[in-house]
Chain A
Amino acid sequence: MFDASTFTQALPLIMKASQMTIFVSVIGLMLGFVIAILVAAACLSPSAGLRRCGNFYTFLFRGVPLLVQLMLAYYFLPTLGINVSPLTAAIAAISLCEGAYLGEILRGGFLGIPRGQIEAAQMMGLSPAHTLLRIQVPQALKLTTPSLINEMILLIKASALISVVGVAEITRTAQNVAASTFRPLEAYLIAGLAYMLINGVLSLLGHYAEQRFGRA
C-alpha cells in the first residue's frame, strides 16, 4: 500500500515548489495589503459613494470563489488582449481577493484607533492621505498583526488552487509526481506535510505575535 521511495523522489521537488508557494503567498499578502488600505479607507470614508464602492468590492471579492477569480484572470484577460503569464494572473487574482479579506481586518484595526488622534492630525493640518499612511496604517498594522498572520496561513492554503492554472507550486508539483510515479497517495501526503510544516511555523509566529501585540 505504501511506497516509501516516492517520498525520497518527491521530497526535493516539493521543497523547491514550497519556495514558489511561499513566494506567491507573500507577494499576494503584500499587494493585497496595499489594496486593503484603499478598501478599508473607502469603507470608513465620510463619503457615501466611496463607502458603497468599498463595500461592493468586499462583497464581490469575498462572494465569488477564489477558483472562479483565478479562472477569470487566466482565461478572461487574454480575450481582452492582455497576455500575462499564469504566475502573473495568479498573483493578480490572489491579491485582489486578499485585498477584500485584509480590508475587513484593517477596517477593524482602523476602528480601534481613538478618534481623537485623527482630530489632532486634522488640527495639525495633515492631509487625509498623510493621516491614513502615517497615523492610521502603522497602528492598525500593530493592532491586527495576529489576524494578518492568520490570513497568511489561509493564503498558503489558497495558493494550492493556482495549480489549476499551471503554476509550479506544491500541489502542481505533487500532481506531476503522482502522474509519473502512479503513487498519488504518497505524492499528496508529502504535499500535505509540506503545507503543514509551513503553516505550523506561521502558527508559532502567530502565537508569538498574539502575546506581544495582544488580540486583534
Chain B
Amino acid sequence: MTIPTNPQATGELLIETRDITKRYGDNLVLDGISLGVRKSEVICIIGPSGSGKSTLLRSLAFLEHYDSGDVLIEGRLLGYVDQDAGRRKATPAEIKDVRRHVGMVFQHFNLWPHMTALGNVAEALIRVKKLPRSQAHDKARAMLAKVGLADKADAYPVRLSGGQQQRVAIARALAMEPHIMLFDEPTSALDPELVGEVLQVMKDLARDGMTMVVVTHEMGFAAQVADRVLFIDQGKIAASGPPAELFRNVRHERLKQFLQNYLDRNAFWEQ
C-alpha cells in the first residue's frame, strides 16, 4: 500500500540542475544532468555502482565540485558566481550562504564520536544559530524524540547501534530546520534488521512534507515514498518517472537488468 505523500508537488522549484558535468581525469562521471525538485517532492536516485549517483547528490551540496552547468538551490547558483568577466569559484562563505537550508545525511553517519547524541545535535544550534545552551539542548532533545531516541540523548555514538546513529544524524540535520534534505545511501552501511527504523523516520519526514533527494538501493522505499525515481546510468539520467510507472512498465534495457537483481531477491512493489 502506498503511503500517501504530498500530492501537491507543484510547488516552487527548490533544486534545479542545468546540464551539469563532472570529470575525474578521463572519466566523465556526470554527463549533462538536468533535473528539478519541487517543494515537498521526494526524489529517489537509483543506479548501478559507479553510475555517478553519489557524485550527483554530493554535487547538490557542492561537496563535489561540478565542472560545468548550474546547480541552483532555491533559485541561487551554488558553488560559483557568475560575473561579467565570467564564472569564478564561490568563497566558502558564499557557498555556506547558498546551502544554508540544505541538510545532509551520510552513508557512514559522520557523527562526532567525542560528543554525546545530544551534543552532536546541539552543536550547530549553539555555534551557527547562536542559540543559548539551554534552548539548544531543549531543541536537540525534541529532535531526538522525533526520531525516537529521547532516551539516548546522553549516549556516545560508540554505544549506539548503526540504526540509532543514523537516526541521530538525521536529527542533527533536522535541527537546523532545512528546506531540503539530501540522503546519501543512508541505509547501505546498516545491518539489514536496522534498516527499517531509519526508513520509518524518513517516511515520516516525507509524510510531513519535507523535500527530499535520496540515493538508495532500497527499492521498496522508493516504490512506496518517492514521487519520482531517477535511474542514473553512466553519468546520465537514463530513465525517470513516478515509481509505479517506472518499475511496472520497464522499457529501458539497463533498468530492466538492474531491477532484475532486486526482483530475484524480493518482489518489492505492492499495490
Contact = CB atoms under 8 A, between A and B. Distances in A.
Contacts of B103: 123
A192 B96 CA distance: 56
Nearest to B121: A124
B120 to A, nearest CB: 9
Q: Which of the listed residues B61, B124, B169 has the most CB atoms from chain A within 10 Å of its own CB?
A: B124
A126 B110 contact: no
Contact of A125 (B63, B96, B110, B111): B96
Nearest to A130: B127
A116 B123 contact: no
A209 to B, nearest CB: 16
B100 interface: yes
Contacts of A138: 114
Interface in B157-201: 169, 172-173, 176
B108 interface: yes
B63 A122 contact: yes
Interface string A41-76: 000000000000000000000000000000000000
B106 interface: yes
Contacts of A130: 127
Given A125-B96, A126-B123, A135-B112, A120 B104 contact: yes
A211 to B, nearest CB: 18
A121 B123 CA distance: 9
B92 A128 contact: yes
Given A124-B124, A124-B128, A117 B176 contact: no
Contacts of A3: none
Interface in A117-149: 117, 119-128, 130, 134-135, 138-139, 142
A126 B63 contact: no
B123 A124 contact: yes
B147 to A, nearest CB: 16
A135 B103 CA distance: 19
Nearest to A133: B127
Contacts of B127: 126-127, 130, 134
A125 B106 contact: no
Given A123-B102, A134-B123, A142 B114 contact: yes
Interface residues of B, number: 24
A133 to B, nearest CB: 10
Contact of B112 (A117, A123, A125, A142): A117
Contacts of B102: 123
Contacts of A117: 110-112
B113 interface: yes
Nearest to B93: A127
Contact of B114 (A121, A124, A139): A139
A116 B176 CA distance: 19
A127 B96 CA distance: 9
B123 A119 contact: no
A125 B176 contact: yes
A114 interface: yes
Nearest to B96: A125
Interface string B12-45: 0000000000000000000000000000000000
Contacts of B173: 123-124
B106 A120 contact: yes
A120 B173 CA distance: 9
A121 B124 CA distance: 8
B114 A125 contact: no
A126 B92 CA distance: 11
A127 B124 CA distance: 10
Interface string A21-36: 0000000000000000
Given A123-B104, A126-B124, 13 more contacts: A116-B108, A117-B110, A119-B63, A119-B106, A122-B96, A123-B61, A123-B103, A124-B128, A124-B172, A124-B176, A134-B127, A138-B114, A139-B114
22 contacts: A114-B108, A116-B106, A117-B111, A117-B112, A119-B63, A119-B104, A119-B110, A120-B104, A120-B112, A122-B63, A122-B96, A123-B61, A123-B63, A123-B102, A123-B104, A125-B96, A125-B100, A125-B176, A126-B127, A126-B128, A134-B127, A142-B114
Kindly list the 4 A-B residue pairs having the minimum CB-CB distance in the complex, ordered from nearest.
A120-B110, A124-B124, A116-B110, A125-B128
Interface of B: 61, 63, 92, 96, 99-100, 102-104, 106, 108, 110-114, 123-124, 127-128, 169, 172-173, 176
